[in-house]
Structure 1
């Protein structure tokens, strides 16, 4: 992890209040792995904003981030023009562990938990691993990156209200995805609880979305108890990715 300046070279609106930014930086683009995040400074805020890495292009030296405009800080970040430079700490955290013997894996994302799974899906496919994806959103107007995931593997879209794709929650369609060796998931805690309960006994990894303070493990603002209750894990430093059963949700 280093403190770096990252230049905004592209910005797009993907869905309702959902912004994609492509950032240019040599160091971070060469070191980022799937599952890590950036800690972005917003001018009017004391605390940085943690944002998952959605994609990385080492040749072009770019990092793509996707975030929702759901607070004052992210709204300000979304207002920054192309050409602006961001003060960033990164890449931060432990990424996804790729199972070396896996032939087929399932990716399950919910809402803004979808972005880090895209970089993971690309990395898995490059290793010859078959990817199947289940992506959950609230409504049709919240859906993004469907085409991008479909290029990488069989993809099922689920919306809470049934306005697009399958109706319901990601756990409602798991019986239809076929056989897989392990799963990876990122999304709200309530989704991860339901998913790990439904897939009890399956090998998997989950990435947690939590509010963070310092982002480097010093402030203890994002701790979770371990499953055995004997200690705590810091999401920013020990995670954000954990093996299923490692922490208590």
Structure 2
């Protein structure tokens, strides 16, 4: 069973339309976390926890930064938390991206869509410590929703795509792939339609995907977030994932 923590809220900031960046303090969690994992937050007044991806960690400062989009009453209530308050957190949960999967000298494509961008950034920061060439393709609804572009540009060749063309390239993340050129493998996180498009477009490439999904327990007990696999079995997104081989699961 995953351990529960009381994490102190250090800051809460709108960084794009309906998008909140929240910095939390809990040294033990900051030292345990790997890219792609999530925290399961208990928001005051709600029964079910909210799974929120981790965007950054600073083990020296003991901090964990999460990003989330306000999409309902639960995330609206979470956005109202103030510095100094505490949040009951289960985690870090799930199996994340493995730094060891990437070898020195490789060219790596990172694809994030919307609130799937934060875990990709966490992974990109860790990969930037190695001798690798990073390309990041980031998809958003419109200019108002864009975030972390400058942070990515510091460590990766970066392309921004908006659905309506109000910023960067117009269309979907897959529309930029011809600009990217050859790469050794890819890693992607975002909404399911985007992941389907990415894995279809890159079907001949080695890759891993991280799925966003509503969850019940968050620890693999309730079976609310199962995903079919190519070998006719099922995987639990919360505990077996959220990161899977693109060739392993049926999206």
The alignment's TM-score, normalised by the length of structure 1, stands at 0.98
1:246 is aligned to 248
2:103–2:132 contact (8 Å) kept in structure 1: no
CA displacement at 1:76 relative to structure 2 = 0.1
CA displacement at 1:128 relative to structure 2 = 2.0
1:141 is aligned to 144
Return the alpha-carbon distance in structure 1 between the equivalents of residues 21 and 212 of structure 2: 18
Return the alpha-carbon distance in structure 2 between the equivalents of residues 243 and 38 of structure 1: 22
Q: Deviations over 1:55-94 (max 9, x none)?
A: 1111111000000011100000000101110000010000
Q: Structure 2: where are the runs of 5+ without partners?
A: none
CA displacement at 1:172 relative to structure 2 = 0.4
Report the secondary structure of 2:128's partner residue: helix
Report the secondary structure of 1:122's partner residue: helix
Return the alpha-carbon distance in structure 2 between the equivalents of residues 215 and 100 of structure 1: 28
- Counterparts of 1:26-37 in structure 2 under 5 Å? 26-37=27-38
1:199 is aligned to 202
CA displacement at 1:97 relative to structure 2 = 2.3
2:12–2:81 contact (8 Å) kept in structure 1: no
CA displacement at 1:26 relative to structure 2 = 1.2
The alignment's TM-score, normalised by the length of structure 2, stands at 0.97
- Counterparts of 1:145-160 in structure 2 under 5 Å? 145-160=148-163
| Residues paired across the two proteins, number | 248
2:108–2:186 contact (8 Å) kept in structure 1: yes
CA displacement at 1:247 relative to structure 2 = 1.1
- Counterparts of 1:96-107 in structure 2 under 5 Å? 96-98=97-99, 99-101=101-103, 103-107=106-110
Return the alpha-carbon distance in structure 2 between the equivalents of residues 160 and 145 of structure 1: 17
CA displacement at 1:227 relative to structure 2 = 1.4
2:43 is aligned to 42
Return the alpha-carbon distance in structure 2 between the equivalents of residues 118 and 145 of structure 1: 8
After superposition, the CA RMSD in angstroms is: 0.8
Return the alpha-carbon distance in structure 1 between the equivalents of residues 118 and 102 of structure 2: 23
1:11 is aligned to 12
CA displacement at 1:228 relative to structure 2 = 2.2
Q: Deviations over 1:172-227 (max 9, x none)?
A: 01011122110000001100001000001100000000110000000000001111
Report the secondary structure of 2:68's partner residue: strand
Return the alpha-carbon distance in structure 2 between the equivalents of residues 52 and 215 of structure 1: 12
1:119 is aligned to 122
Return the alpha-carbon distance in structure 2 between the equivalents of residues 121 and 58 of structure 1: 17
CA displacement at 1:2 relative to structure 2 = 1.5
2:211 is aligned to 208
2:76 is aligned to 75
